[in-house]
């Protein structure tokens, strides 16, 4: 290790670009192995003569460079990916000029940036698509690859006529027509929304294309287009387009500066638009459709709607191989093929993701494309506001309780959850000091923590004011770029509330605040006093805190939301009855944790009576944490009766399951107590002990839940029916998971029937996972037999890999090795990397706490690093809490990181190498132990 800086790029590396980028004329001559790109880059000089100009050009072959008005020479610095131009005569100030280049780029199968190969249908020419976030455009053509270099584009594609689709941004300017030598040409013009280079898209491929119109309430229309693998079931495509159309209509009706005004009219418009679409679909009389259109046009004139799409076509393209689930590209969204269609082979989590990704990527047309962050350091701004809108749409469909609880579980999960990551050595702030690769910024901090900060600001200024501030931001910076300060200024202007000081620590610090809450009730005066004290290290953060005092029968005695600015805040409520319990951090009002010494009796009552689903779940999780901690302290102790009674009673609570789904019964392999929080195998054993004791004591009750919830599953085709079924299935499969811990021949038979007879992918995967973690004599036969079936469909394969990666059995590593070594597994496929290798890494009781698991983890890291740095860095994050683990693991895990540094040099994979260095730097306790035992001193970091 040397003392080189930990980050390759710092904010000081970004500044004002020396020219104004106006337009690009691009011609792509696409061959199977190379693409020739002819570019005319239209620029305007600044207020001083321009003697030289540097363009970004990464791994290109430079064939020609010229500038007609100002002769130019060039030098290509391939190592630093710069094309340096020197003008014979400086370009005068404020003068337009054109730089012309002819270059060659070569797509690859594993560098999923720039132009690369996607999965190719049999008998078709090579499928090629682009991924430009954040600096992929320079892998295609010399350019100023900066987020502020927003311009318009005219793009001509010449490619094999056998391709069904030749795609780029904008509207078709010259229709597709024969060129020569069995090739076709098409030209697109993107002139409405100037876009940053990272939003450019090019695709040549073989797809089935499905379309449908999207008609706004005022009658204006554009076309929705879906490009998916050949042979796709048209019914699935129709359903997928229907979900997309619904999300676009929702964005139009339920966002914008008057979101909360005239809600009844908006609800009627939403309902009537769906009625109109159904009339059109069913072939109703034109007179009936026209009459409804008249009504809709009159109604929509009375509201101020949200974002309206500006193009003539909005296209979703299935991509089989990508580091990301989806990527917006002005009018073209790429979505991983496993999530673009509601496949019957997809588990419920995949369907949930499908709902989210469609509205997320569409909203990026406004937030991210029309208004773009100024640098990669503002990536959070493009994403967090978009996630905020995505969550609102999800809540609109699934219900606020279900949706919010899903986010809370994401925060709390020990397997890649946001709190876990944010306390680790690899965590970076929302606006970090630096990064090694822009993909380093694609983390839970950007996509979960940052949206929580946005939500806190919404709470502080109020929802009605928040949407006005958001509209001011989008209006003021439309077709331009903005910084965090710009966004905050718009919010401050709309609300009159100062936010800059609030935002500073949230933007610049890792971790999260913890609040200790104490209370006292004076029965004589009826006064309740509550003290909110920030624990040590939490003083730097300010945040809203929602709470309530709850009395008999769940009655709210007092409630408020306070802004915690000082180290301690005291509130008083007079003239109230004695509270039965306190409901703290309602709605998960702030990003952080609460310490409160409620009794088990108070928590049990809260779990049953609190009307806020977030605090109700936290009470449940606290009870279970206490039980897990007790059992780890004494593994021979029996499980408490109040726990074994509680679990089946919650599953049998029909109202709770309808509101929150079976996810409410999530019991993590984690506890808050730092003495036990990273004893992964012990945590697994304690959780399993609780579930087994519950199943032994309440077998009949759990069987009843299993069968009752199964009977409630309708199998309906509407979106609302599917959502209801997801909640019933969650409850059913939670009961089955508890029963599976009995691990008896009778249960093995029940699991086998559930697996064989499953009509739904979630049911099948639940049963399969339980079987392969059991002592069933058939477990390995079923595993390998299902592998042969699963490999035939990419969605089934993904689920199979994830189930195998989560194995807790003694042969877990051996089985994962064998699956990885099979011909069905592709190390170059990002989906395979995430599902098997990423999940195995998160299986920390095996990957970190067994010698065989650590050896395999090292092999994964060193094998994957030259293939996909992004996936490898994600895997390395599981090593972010070495200091908090038991001391026996310090030496082997430090050895593992040192071996990674030796095997993965910075020249090969800088993000991986530097992340390993940061992990070592963030583990001072383990390093000190290493130095004492090994008699070695670490070099300066």
- What residues does 167 pair with on adjacent strands? 203
Q: Where are the beta strands (DSSP E) in 523-670?
A: 527-534, 543-550, 556-564, 568-573, 581-584, 593-596
Q: Determine which helix (DSSP H) or strand (DSSP E) holds 20, and give its type and residue range.
A: strand 19-30
Determine the pLDDT at residue 940: 59
Determine the pLDDT at residue 3: 47
Q: Where are the beta strands (DSSP E) in 675-723?
A: none
Cβ atoms within 10 Å of 387's Cβ, excluding its own: 24
Q: Give the orientation angle of helix 500-508 with respect to helix 484-495, to 10 degrees.
A: 150
Determine the pLDDT at residue 37: 98
Report whether 885 contacts 854 (CB < 8 A): no
Phi/psi for 851 (5° steps) reads -60, -40
pTM, two decimals, is: 0.94
Determine the pLDDT at residue 440: 84
Indicate the SS3 state at residue 665.
helix
DSSP calls for 855-920: HHHHHHHHHHTTT-HHHHHHHHGGGTTGGGS-GGGHHHHHHHHHHHHHHS-TTT-HHHHHHHHHHH
Q: What is the strand order of the sheet 326-329 is part of?
A: 208-215, 221-228, 313-319, 332-336, 326-329
CA distance 628 to 217: 55
Determine the pLDDT at residue 520: 96
Determine the pLDDT at residue 322: 86
Phi/psi for 235 (5° steps) reads -65, -40
Per-10-residue mean pLDDT, the chain, length 941: 67 92 98 98 97 98 96 96 97 98 95 94 97 91 97 98 97 96 97 94 98 97 97 97 98 98 98 96 95 97 97 96 87 94 95 97 96 95 97 98 98 89 88 87 93 98 98 97 97 97 96 97 96 94 98 95 97 96 98 96 97 98 97 95 98 97 96 91 97 98 97 94 96 98 97 96 97 97 97 95 97 98 94 96 97 98 94 94 95 96 92 93 94 81 55
**Residue holding tokens 């997809």?**
346
What lies within 8 Å, CB to CB, of 724 at 6+ separation is 658, 714, 716
Q: How buried is residue 470: exposed, middle or buried, by Cβ count under 10 Å (0-12/13-18/19+)? A: buried
**Residue holding tokens 């796709």?**
232
Report whether 550 contacts 609 (CB < 8 A): yes
What DSSP character marks residue 774?
Answer: S
**Residue holding tokens 């877990």?**
812
CA distance 626 to 166: 59
């Amino acid at each position: 290790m040397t003392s080189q800086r930990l980050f390759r790029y710092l904010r000081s590396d970004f500044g004002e670009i020396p020219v104004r980028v106006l337009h690009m004329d691009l011609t792509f001559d696409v061959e199977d192995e190379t693409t020739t790109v002819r570019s005319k880059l239209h620029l305007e000089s600044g207020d001083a003569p321009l003697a030289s100009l540097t363009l970004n050009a990464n791994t290109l072959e430079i064939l020609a460079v010229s500038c007609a008005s100002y002769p130019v020479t060039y030098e290509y610095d391939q190592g630093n990916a710069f094309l340096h131009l020197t003008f014979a005569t400086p370009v005068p100030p404020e003068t337009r000029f054109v730089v012309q280049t002819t270059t060659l780029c070569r797509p690859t199968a594993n560098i999923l940036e720039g132009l690369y190969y996607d999965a190719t249908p049999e008998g078709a020419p090579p499928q090629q698509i682009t991924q430009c976030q954040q600096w992929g455009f320079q892998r295609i053509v010399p350019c100023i690859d900066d987020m502020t270099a927003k311009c318009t584009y005219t793009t001509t594609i010449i490619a094999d006529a056998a391709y069904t689709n030749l795609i780029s941004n904008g509207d078709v300017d010259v229709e597709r027509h024969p060129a020569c030598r069995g090739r076709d040409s098409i030209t697109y013009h993107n002139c409405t929304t100037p876009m940053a280079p990272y939003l450019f898209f090019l695709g040549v491929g073989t797809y089935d294309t499905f379309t449908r119109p999207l008609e706004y309430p005022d009658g204006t229309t554009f076309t929705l287009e879906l490009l998916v693998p050949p042979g796709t079931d048209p019914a699935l495509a129709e359903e997928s387009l229907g979900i997309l159309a619904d999300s676009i209509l929702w964005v139009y009706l339920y966002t914008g500066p008057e979101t909360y005004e005239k809600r009844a009219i908006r609800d009627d418009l939403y309902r009537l638009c769906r009625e109109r679409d159904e009339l059109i679909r069913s072939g109703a009389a034109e007179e009936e459709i026209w009459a409804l259109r008249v009504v809709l046009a009159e109604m929509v004139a009375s509201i101020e709607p949200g974002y309206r799409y500006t193009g003539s076509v909005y296209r979703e393209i299935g991509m089989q191989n990508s580091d990301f689930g989806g990527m917006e590209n002005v009018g073209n969204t790429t979505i991983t093929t496993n999530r673009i269609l509601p496949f019957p082979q997809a588990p419920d989590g995949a369907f949930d993701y499908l709902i989210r990704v469609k509205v997320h990527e569409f909203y990026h047309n406004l937030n991210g494309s029309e208004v773009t962050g100024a640098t990669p350091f503002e990536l959070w701004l493009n994403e967090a506001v978009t996630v905020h809108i995505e969550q609102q749409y999800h809540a609109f469909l699934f219900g606020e309780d279900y949706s919010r609880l899903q986010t809370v579980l994401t925060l709390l999960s020990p397997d890649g959850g946001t709190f876990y990551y944010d306390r680790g050595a690899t965590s970076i702030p929302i606006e970090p000091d630096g990064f090694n690769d822009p993909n380093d910024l694609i983390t839970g901090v950007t996509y979960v923590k940052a949206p929580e900060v946005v939500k806190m600001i919404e709470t502080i200024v109020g929802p009605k004011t928040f949407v006005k501030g958001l509209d001011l931001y989008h209006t003021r910076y439309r077709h331009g770029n903005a910084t965090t300060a710009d966004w905050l200024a718009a919010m401050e202007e709309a609300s009159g509330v100062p936010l800059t000081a609030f935002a500073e620590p949230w933007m610049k610090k890792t971790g999260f605040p913890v609040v200790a809450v104490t209370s006292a009730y004076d029965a004589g005066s009826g006064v309740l006093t509550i003290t909110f004290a920030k624990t040590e290290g939490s003083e730097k953060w300010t945040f809203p805190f929602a709470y309530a005092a709850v009395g008999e029968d769940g009655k709210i005695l007092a409630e408020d939301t306070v802004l915690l600015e000082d180290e301690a805040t005291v509130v008083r409520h007079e003239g109230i009855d004695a509270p039965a319990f306190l409901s703290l951090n309602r709605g998960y009002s702030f990003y952080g944790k609460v310490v409160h010494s409620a009794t088990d009796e108070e928590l049990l009552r809260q779990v049953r009576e609190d009307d806020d689903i977030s605090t109700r779940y936290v009470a449940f999780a606290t009870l279970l944490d206490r039980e897990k901690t007790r059992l780890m302290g004494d593994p021979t102790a029996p499980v408490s009766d109040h726990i074994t009674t509680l679990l089946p009673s919650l599953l049998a609570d029909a109202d709770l399951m309808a509101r929150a789904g079976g996810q409410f019964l999530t019991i993590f392999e984690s506890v808050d107590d730092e003495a036990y929080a990273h004893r992964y195998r012990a945590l697994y054993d304690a959780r399993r002990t609780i579930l087994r004791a519950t199943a032994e004591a309440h077998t009949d009750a759990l069987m009843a839940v299993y069968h009752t919830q199964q009977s409630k599953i309708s199998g309906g085709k509407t979106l609302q029916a599917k959502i209801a079924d997801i909640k019933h299935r969650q409850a059913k499969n939670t009961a089955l998971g508890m029963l599976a811990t009995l691990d008896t021949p009778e249960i093995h038979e029940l699991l086998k029937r559930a697996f064989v007879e499953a009509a739904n992918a979630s049911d099948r995967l639940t049963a399969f996972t339980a079987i392969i973690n059991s002592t069933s004599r058939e477990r390995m036969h079923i595993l390998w037999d299902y592998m042969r079936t699963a490999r035939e469909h990419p969605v089934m394969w993904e689920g199979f890999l994830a189930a195998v990666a989560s194995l807790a059995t003694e042969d877990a590593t051996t089985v994962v090795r064998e699956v990885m070594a099979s011909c069905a597994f592709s190390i170059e496929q990002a989906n395979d990397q995430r599902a098997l290798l990423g999940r195995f890494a998160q299986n920390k009781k095996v990957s970190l706490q067994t010698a065989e698991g650590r050896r395999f983890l090292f092999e994964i890291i060193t094998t994957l690093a030259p293939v996909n740095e992004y996936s490898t860095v994600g895997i390395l994050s599981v090593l972010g809490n070495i200091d908090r683990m038991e001391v026996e693991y310090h030496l082997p895990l430090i050895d593992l990181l040192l071996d990674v540094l030796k095997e993965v040099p910075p020249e090969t994979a800088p993000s991986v190498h530097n992340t390993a260095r940061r992990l070592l730097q963030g583990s001072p306790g383990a390093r000190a132990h290493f130095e004492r035992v090994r008699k070695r001193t670490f070099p300066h970091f």
